[in-house]
Structures are given as structure tokens and as C-alpha cells.
Amino acid sequence: MTSTFTSTSRRTETVRRPRDVGRTAARNLIVRALRRAGLHHVLRGQPCIVGLVVPHPQDRPDFVEAARAMLRTLSHDALANEFDRFDDAFEVVEFDSKPKRPKAAEDAVRATLASRARVVAVAGDPADFPTVFRVAADAIVTPDLVDVRALEGALHAVFGSKPPGDLIDAALGLPLQTIGMLVKPGRSLGQVVRRLRRFKDGAAAAPVTARQRREHPTLDDLHGLGEAAEWGQSMARDFADYRAGRLTWADMDRGILVSGPPGTGKTTFARALASTCMVPIHVHSLARWQAKGHLDDLLKAMRGAFEDAKKDAPCILFVDEIDAFGDRETLSGEHEQYCREVINAFLECLDGAEGREGVVVVGATNLPDKIDAAIRRPGRLDRHVVIPLPDTEARKGILRHHLGDDLADADLSDAAERLEGASGAVIEQVVRNARRRARSERRPLAIGDLGVALPTRLRLSDADFRRACIHEAGHAVIGTLLSLAAGKVPTQVRVFREVSVDGAAGVTACHRVGGVMRTRLAYLAEIVGLLAGMAAEEIVLGEHTEGAGGSDRSDLHQATMLAAAMEASVGFGRNIAYLAPADDAELLDRLRSDPSLRRTVNRTLAKCRDRARTMLEANGPALDALAQMLEACGSASRGEILDIVLAGGSDPVPPPDAGEGGPA
């Protein structure tokens, strides 16, 4: 027997069921967005001015009609009758990005706002709302993308019964207009599902503009994310199976830690992940929760964020700068109890007394080593992926993404090469500056604008480039040999021909192995690895340059902080007394004021550098081979590094401990 859609509503019902699934879903999303923004007075029929940002053009008509139907219903409420002195109780308008007569449009908006009790406007971008509207508005909100919850509610409202899972799966991701056109009472279920799937295959899908791709990208639109993109695409498939009932929550990843240098796109990744998975995203940070007030207010805000996400499941909960929570093993001083309570509360939220089914937590950090180990235990943020600085092809893709339809036929290879070592954020700023230059001269964007906007860069001489290759090869060889002891594995080495005025000529990315307790030997092994670049320069070229130090987060800075922490903070020195917290600023102050500590730290650093020299001299062929690869290719992967080190006959080993002050 052929299944059909029928309404279960009885003739005696006084409430008339809606007929259009698309508009009903749009109404559900509007109500959700208003509640989330705290605009409850709008739903009570009180005077309001609200903007709705709906990026997809094909969805806007349904949101306009849904808003109109919602306000029409509110106009019949008793509360709404208080506003009958207006010419009309409400108005719904749609703003175009480029009105033909801006002044006339502004005047019309003023007149509408003055004569209506309730005004809702729909636009594709926040910038499309006229200035007078933005100033007067209670808020401008962006409804979520159509998700399972909105579709289920709309279908249930129209048909009066729970919709089948294959219908939800087929409709999800299509424009509301298409859903409303195809999903109607009385039609064959199989026929509707087949037509929906045909539309999903792209036969009649609405084209996405370059501007929409820039402002609301999916993972397919982004470049240079590496393993993070692969995980995100896998998560999108899991979300689809979860919504369709083919996968249980127990089988899904609950969270992920995303790390990488500043500006590599960790926040953009989280938003694109939500778009790709077609779920809403809740963006938070410890700083945002702290802004609510004292400890009780902070904890209330944190728990409230998780509760809101659970109500909105399935969804993404993004926590930026997650290293701000700190590590309980290094807490000290007057704020120790405060920080400990915050971390404990966050762990409770991650676990959830009643679970957090459907909520995937994404944490982002520039400093993964600063995160409490318990946050990364199984069931929490147990997966860790690194977003690296983009390579040449990725930089070309990022440029093209931000340029959109501009310079469509231009060759971006030269610009991508000159942006070597730049992050995604820097590349976006380059495009923004190029557009600003073209706008100031009232003309279209030209390839020359892009060239002028590129940051000032210095091209290394052949000798300096070779030195940089030797330096990074030293880090990678020693890092690989001492990976078991240090608990850190080199994952990629890159060296740059051109560098910014204050930029580094190379970088060796490392991944810290989860679950490794850091012993005294682990600290010493990490210091040896940090000083291996300096040691490699000395062995091959006779002396080292200033590149190992000179700034925060430099090799010398990190090695010094580790050596100072061994003596003054974590009980790995001659004395076990606690003198200072393992905080860079506190340790530097202690070093400046304590000559004895300074001498001990300097002795540890010198012995670790000597140990790096000894190990590199014993592994000269591996050092030479990796440096030559970097000269030829500019980069080396984890597998290539390991192959070169193992080819030299050495295996990763723990360093020998030669007593006080560091290894011999």
C-alpha cells in the first residue's frame, strides 16, 4: 500500500493547522532566535524593531511570510490591541543590498518605524540594513540553519504526527521554498522523498554566491585546515547518520581540541564545521563567562551555556582560548582556589550529570601544552588536531576564497608565494586592504592592489636560508630522537625563503603525546630539543645567530622558562622548595632578582646545549640529509623526518641523566 501524507486533525479542532512546511520551519527558527537573544517581548506582541539575517536568497521569502504570519497572530492578542492607534499594527520588510535610491529608502524606513508598533526586517547581511534601522533596532539576529529540530516541528505541525526519518534526511539541507513546494498533505511519501533527493543532488538547488561562501563558509570552502577538515567532514557524516537514527550518540566523537598558531582559522573552522554539519553553533570563551561577574556568576554562565546547547542539540559548542582555564598541576598563589573551582566546574559540564547528548564541544587554543590533562581525557576533548600555517596551494585557495568573484582570471601564484609563512588571518587582511585601496580610488579591484597590500617581506640570502634549514633540521632530529622522553613528536618542519620583518625563518611543529606525565627527564629532553637549532648552527657553521632568542616564545625563552620551573616551581632542581608559580612573568621576575637561581638555570641550559651538540654530532648524516631536503623542498613531514632519522641507524631513546643541573 502506498504511504501518503494525511492530516490527523479533527474537524472539531478550533486551531487551524499550517499548510506550508517551509514557512512553518522558518517560523520555528525565528522564534528560537528571538528566545535565544532574550527578545521575549516580541513574542508577547509588544512594540519591537527586529532584523533577521537570512543569507540564502531562496529562504528569505519564507522567512518574510513566516514573520508576517507570526506578527498577524500577535496582532489578535489582547496585549496587541493597546497599539491600535498606529496606522497598522505591524510591518515586515525586506532590504536589498543595493537600493536604487538610498535616500528615498532611508526616508521610507523612517516612516515605517514611526507608524508601526512592530517592525521585522529581513536581509541577507547585517550591512544591508539601513543605518537608521540598525540604530533603532532592538536587535539584529541570525536564525539558525534549518536543522532536524526545526524540520520535525514544522512537519509535525502541518501533518499532526511524527514525520518519518527518511523524509527528514531527504529534506535536510534544501531551501525552505523547495521543501514547502514538494512536501504537501496527500502526496505519496516515496514520491516526495525521491523528489527531495533529486533536488538535493543539485538539479534545482539555489546557487550560492561568492559573498555567501565568504561569510558563511563550509569546510569545502576553506583551505589549509589539514586533518581538522578531514575530521570535520567525518563528523558531518556522523551527524547525518545520528539525525537519521543510524548512529547512536555513544558511537560519536564528543569533542575535539583544535590548536595552531594565531590566525590559522580555528574559530572559522568551528563555524564552517557547524555549517557543514547543518547544526547551530554556540560560541563561548572563559573570558566571556568571566565578564558576567564574580565566581558564582561565572559558573552560572558556564553551566547556562551548556544547558542552552543541550536544548539546541544536535549542535556545536565552541570554547575559544581554552588554555585560559589553566592547568591544576601548575596552579598556585591567591587565585589558586578560584581557578581550581572553575576548571572543576568545566569538567563537570563536559561530563554532564545527565549527559550532553548531541552537543559536540570544540575547544581552540594556541597553547595546547597549557591545558589541564583532565580536559583531554576520553569522552571530553580527547581528540587533538593541529591546524598548520597554510602551504602555497592552501594560500592560493584562501586568497581565492576571500576574493570571491573578484580577479576571477588572475594568477594568484606570485601573491601566494610572497605570503609564505602567513596565517589565514593575515591573508584575509591582505585582501581587505586591497579592496580598501580600490574603493578609495573608486574603481574595481586590480591585481596590482593585491601586490601593494602584501606585507613587507625580506628575501633570505642563500646562506641565510641554508642556516635556517640547518637550524630547523636540528630541532627535528633531536625532537625525534628524544620523543619518548619529552612526550613530544615533531610533525612537520617548514622553512621560508621570504619572511616578514619580525617573522621567523622556519618552524618545527610538534604534537604532545596525551597522557604522558612529565618527569625531570622530560623537562630536560624538551630543553635539549629547544636548544638543538642553536647547536646545529654551531656544529655546521661555527656559530649561531640571534634567531634562537630575542622574543617571547622563542627557543631560548621557552628553554629558560622550563629550566627555571625545574628549579623554582616543580621540584626538579637541587632543592625541592617551591619558590614561584610556573608562570613566565613570575619566573622571569624571580630570575632577575635571584642570582643563585640565574646561575643554576644558566648551567642547566649550557649542559643541555652541549648534550644537543653531542647527539647531533653522532647523527651528522641525518642532520645533513634533513637540511638538504628542507633546502630543496622547503618542508618535511613527520614520516619523512622519521625515515631520515631511522636511516641513520638511531632510534628514539630517552636521554641519559647526568645528575644535578641537567644532562652531561
Note whether residue 334 is domain-resident. Answer: yes
- How confident is the model over 223-235, as pLDDT tens digits? 888 889 999 999 9
pLDDT of residue 2: 44
642 shares a domain with 620: yes
Amino acid at 564: A
Per-residue pLDDT, averaged over 192-214, amounts to: 60
Radius of gyration over every alpha carbon of the chain, rounded to an integer in angstroms: 29
Task: Indicate whether 331 pLDDT > 80.
Answer: no
DSSP-assigned letter for residue 366: S
374 shares a domain with 343: yes
Note whether residue 7 is domain-resident. Answer: no
Residue 277 — very low, low, confident or very high, per pLDDT cuts 50/70/90? Answer: confident
Task: Indicate whether 108 pLDDT > 80.
Answer: yes
- Domain boundary among the residues 87, 122, 141 is at 141
- Spell out the alpha helix ranges (H) of 176-331: 176-182, 189-200, 210-215, 227-243, 266-277, 286-290, 295-311
Task: Indicate whether 13 pLDDT > 50.
Answer: no
- Domain boundary among the residues 431, 455, 479 is at 455
186 shares a domain with 110: no
Per-residue pLDDT, averaged over 67-74, amounts to: 84
CATH assignment at residue 401: 1.10.8.60
Per-residue pLDDT, averaged over 532-539, amounts to: 94
- Domain boundary among the residues 141, 161, 189 is at 141
pLDDT of residue 103: 66
Amino acid at 153: G
Look up the domain containing 557 and give its range. 462-647
The dihedral built from the CA positions of residue 56, 57, 61 and 64, taken in this order, carries a sign that is positive
What's the whole-model pTM score? 0.52
Task: Indicate whether 116 pLDDT > 50.
Answer: yes
What gap in Å lies between CA 134 and CA 471, rounded to an integer?
A: 54
In sequence order, what are the residues at sequence separation of 6 or more whose Cβ sits closer than 8 angstroms to the Cβ of residue 644? 477, 622, 625, 626, 629, 636
What gap in Å lies between CA 662 and CA 664, rounded to an integer?
A: 7
The three cell numbers of residue 148 are 532536524
Q: Are 224 and 388 in contact (CB under 8 A)?
A: yes
300 shares a domain with 428: no
226 shares a domain with 358: yes
Distances (CA, A) of 323 to 254, 339, 366, 392: 19, 12, 8, 30
Note whether residue 289 is domain-resident. Answer: yes
In the sheet that holds 383-386, the strands lie side by side as 281-285, 315-320, 359-365, 255-259, 383-386
- How confident is the model over 24-46, as pLDDT tens digits? 899 999 999 999 888 988 888 88
Distances (CA, A) of 173 to 168, 240, 282, 374, 559: 10, 11, 20, 37, 50
Number of domains observed in the structure of the chain: 5
Note whether residue 620 is domain-resident. Answer: yes
- How confident is the model over 278-298, as pLDDT tens digits? 888 899 999 889 888 889 999
Note whether residue 235 is domain-resident. Answer: yes
357 shares a domain with 227: yes
- How confident is the model over 610-648, as pLDDT tens digits? 999 999 999 999 999 999 999 999 889 989 999 999 886
Q: Are 362 and 256 in contact (CB under 8 A)?
A: yes
The dihedral built from the CA positions of residue 349, 350, 356 and 358, taken in this order, carries a sign that is positive
pLDDT of residue 197: 74
Residue 181 — very low, low, confident or very high, per pLDDT cuts 50/70/90? Answer: confident
Note whether residue 661 is domain-resident. Answer: no
Amino acid at 563: A
Task: Indicate whether 455 pLDDT > 70.
Answer: yes
pLDDT of residue 16: 58
pLDDT of residue 124: 84
Task: Indicate whether 427 pLDDT > 80.
Answer: yes
Q: Three-state DSSP class for 217?
A: coil
577 shares a domain with 481: yes
Q: Which residues are 320's β-sheet partners?
A: 285
pLDDT of residue 652: 59
Number of helical H runs and strand E runs in the chain: 28, 14
Residue 655 — very low, low, confident or very high, per pLDDT cuts 50/70/90? Answer: very low
Residue 101 — very low, low, confident or very high, per pLDDT cuts 50/70/90? Answer: low
Higher pLDDT, 14 or 179: 179
Note whether residue 635 is domain-resident. Answer: yes
CATH assignment at residue 522: 1.20.58.760
pLDDT of residue 11: 34
In sequence order, what are the residues at sequence separation of 6 or more whose Cβ sits closer than 8 angstroms to the Cβ of residue 321? 285, 286, 287, 364, 365, 366
Per-residue pLDDT, averaged over 137-143, amounts to: 90
Note whether residue 662 is domain-resident. Answer: no
Compute, in degrees rounded to 10, the torsion defined by CA atoms 9, 12, 13, 18. Answer: 50
Q: Work out the mean pLDDT of the chain and round it to a whole number.
A: 82
Element (H, E) at 255: strand 255-259
DSSP track, 134-202: HHH-SEEE-PPPP-HHHHHHHHHHHHSSPPPHHHHHHHTTS-HHHHHHH--TTSBHHHHHHHHHHHHTT
501 shares a domain with 557: yes
Catalytic residues: 472
614 shares a domain with 470: yes
Task: Indicate whether 661 pLDDT > 50.
Answer: no
Helix axes 462-481, 520-530, angle to 10 degrees: 160
Compute, in degrees rounded to 10, the torsion defined by CA atoms 518, 519, 522, 523. Answer: 90
231 shares a domain with 372: yes
Higher pLDDT, 206 or 21: 21
pLDDT of residue 203: 42
53 shares a domain with 100: yes
162 shares a domain with 197: yes
- pLDDT above 70 coverage of the chain, percent: 86
